[in-house]
Amino acid sequence: MPKPSGPIYACAKCDAQTSKWTGRCLECGAWGSLKEAESAESAPERKHDFSKTKSGALTRFSADTAKSAPATPTRCAPIDLVLGGGLVAGSVTLIAGEPGIGKSTLLSQAAIAIAASGRRVMYVTGEESPAQIRRRLERLSDKIPDGLLFLDDTDAQVIAATIANERPDLAIVDSIQSVRLSDVNGDAGSVTQVKACAATITEAAKKSHVPVVFVGQVTKDGDVAGPRVLEHLVDAVLYLEGDKDHRYRILRALKHRFGSTDETALLTMSERGMEPVEDPSSELLKDRATNTAGSAIGCIIEGHRPMLIELQALVSPAGYGTPIRRATGVDPQRLGMLLAVIAKRAGIYALDKDVYANAAGGIDARDQSVDLAVAVAIASAVKEKPIDPRTGIIGEIGLAGELRPISLPELRLKEFARMGFQNVIVPKRQGTHAPKGLHVIEAATLREALDHLLF
């Protein structure tokens, strides 16, 4: 990362830092509070005398090094799966996601499961009232276990003290943006408050060996005081993502000090909470349109899991003005580029039409490995010719219409084979071996791929 050049300004009121001077602190709103902060260059030179400091122990990477800290299952399947077994004593986990995506639901499920096994859970209700949480718990479980207790307080000092003194088996702070420290400037949710509160509660967690989970709200725009400022402070960061209007959510680990970040869970959201999907490809292809033009099957990789996904396109005559481009789960910029390449390199013209492209199920497929599948879906829609439902499609498309290799081709081909596909179109330069029962069709360009599929 390039070193920031020029001075850094710090707010005298809330400590927020910025590289641009403004008359008013954008964080706490104080006027004229930004002062030039001491930079590395202007800091007084420090003299080191290393002979007085005890050196650290150098250790070999032995088999013991890889042993992970013992984790206690939360018995909430998605969380245990993604965290590789459960929560480690004294660890701090952040679950981040947009409002309404289901963070409180998921943690309520974990809280119920842990308390039902005879342990004590402390749920800090900052974002919602205890009554609202109670209604959610009633919806998720027939019985609310006695060990599930709430603390209706937003003072981080009180929360930390309660963790240290009560030593519950799990503490949930829902959310970290709703708590504050009275001796720190700024409103609850500001960068300074969020950092200071998280540090205070983390200290209590470490000292008392209580696992703590913070809920962090992510805003679509800016995300100033969002979970990003906490990522380096906590042991694990989980993101809950998805489209609120669809039933699927993906829980993934972005950082995990005690385990791998490879596990990802596909979840379905229902009245009774979230359930992990055992076989994502079967689930995602369950409602696919067969024998309909504008549908193609691609494969994305989540963590280390391949998931087959239906890419759909609808092309219709445009009204007056600029044609509509709408991409759901597909990169909108990529869609524009693909339309240009399809027109220029394959002679299939949809630039003057309204084009809707969609990854079915509200899944995020903004991934170049589905370029070819999206392009094929569009071409199929324009030509009004369905694609053979037993043919899978992988490949990235370059501006010259050439097909480029993608990552982990074997994993994807194996998934197509497992799901009963017979053919897969693969970029020629990929050079992969076909798994048993699967016929690999190599294509060097988009035009070649379309020749196989449409004509």
Closest to 263 measured CA to CA, from 84, 419, 143: 84
Q: Which does 70 bind (CB under 5 to 8 A by kind): Mg ion, ligand ADP, none?
A: none
Interacting partner of 271 out of Mg ion, ligand ADP, none (Cβ under 5 to 8 A depending on kind): ligand ADP
Whole-number Å distance between alpha carbons of 73 and 68: 14
Instruction: Give the binding site for ligand ADP (CB under 6 A).
Output: 97, 99-105, 139, 244, 269, 271
Please tell me the distance from the alpha carbon of residue 292 to that of residue 266, in angstroms, as a whole number: 27
* Alpha-carbon separation of residue 23 from 55, 153, 161, 186, 277 (angstroms): 47, 35, 38, 17, 52
Taking the complex as a whole, the smallest distance from the CB of residue 312 to ligand ADP amounts, in Å, to 23
- Cβ proximity to Mg ion, 178 vs 328, nearer residue: 178
Q: Tell me if 125 contacts Mg ion by CB under 5 A.
A: no
To ligand ADP, the closest distance from the beta carbon of 100 in angstroms equals 4
> In angstroms, what is the minimal distance from the CB of 99 to Mg ion?
7
Q: How far is CA 269 from CA 209, 274, 308, 366, 440, in A?
A: 32, 5, 20, 22, 36
Considering the complex, state which of residue 98 and residue 203 has its C-beta at the smaller distance from ligand ADP.
98
Residue 218 or 454 with smaller CB distance to Mg ion: 218
Beta bridge partners of 132: none
Q: Please compute, for residue 378, the number of CA atoms within 13 A of its CA located in the half-sphere on the CB side.
A: 33
Neighbours of 321 (CB within 10 A): 6
Give the x/- contact pattern for Mg ion in 315-354, rule: CB under 5 A: ----------------------------------------
Residue 142 and residue 136 in contact, taking contact as beta carbons nearer than 8 Å: no
**Of 421, 420, 418, nearest in space to 373 by CA:** 421
| Among 33, 74, 93, 104, contact with Mg ion (rule: CB under 5 A) | 104
> Which tokens go with 248?
């699927």
How many residues of this chain interact with Mg ion, rule: CB under 5 A?
1
Which is closer to ligand ADP, CB of 152 or CB of 388? Answer: 152
For 193, counting Cβ atoms within 10 Å of its Cβ (0-12 exposed, 13-18 middle, 19+ buried), the class is buried
Q: Which CB, 125 or 281, lies closer to ligand ADP?
A: 125
177 binds Mg ion (CB under 5 A): no
Of the two residues 132 and 282, which places its CB atom closer to ligand ADP in the complex?
132
Give the binding range for Mg ion (CB under 5 A) out of 55-63, 104-112, 202-210, 349-357: 104-112
What residues contact residue 301 under an 8 Å CB cut-off, 6+ apart?
Answer: 307, 369, 407, 408, 411, 412
CA neighbor of 135 nearest in space, from 171, 174, 104: 104
Q: Which residues contact 455 (CB under 8 A, 6 or more apart)?
A: none
User: In the complex, which residue's CB is closest to Mg ion?
Assistant: 104
What is the pattern of x (binds Mg ion, CB under 5 A) and - over residues 61-100? ----------------------------------------
Q: Is 201 helix (H, G, I), strand (E, B) or coil?
A: helix
CA distances from 220 to 148, 167, 238, 241 (A): 32, 35, 17, 12
Q: How far is the CB of 15 from ligand ADP (least distance, A)?
A: 28
The answer to the question of residue 105 lying near Mg ion (CB under 5 A) is no
Closest approach, Cβ 387 to ligand ADP, in A, equals: 33
Are the C-beta atoms of 339 and 354 separated by less than 8 Å? no
- Give 132 or 407: the residue with its C-beta nearer to Mg ion: 132
Cβ nearer to Mg ion, comparing 100 with 431: 100
Q: How far is the CB of 272 from ligand ADP (least distance, A)?
A: 8
Beta bridge partners of 274: 269
Distance of closest approach, residue 383 Cβ to ligand ADP, in angstroms: 38
Report what 105 binds from Mg ion, ligand ADP, none; CB cut-off 5-8 Å by kind. Answer: ligand ADP
CB of 421 to Mg ion, least distance (A): 40
- At its nearest, how many Å lie between ligand ADP and the CB of residue 269? 6
Name the residues that contact Mg ion, by CB under 5 A: 104
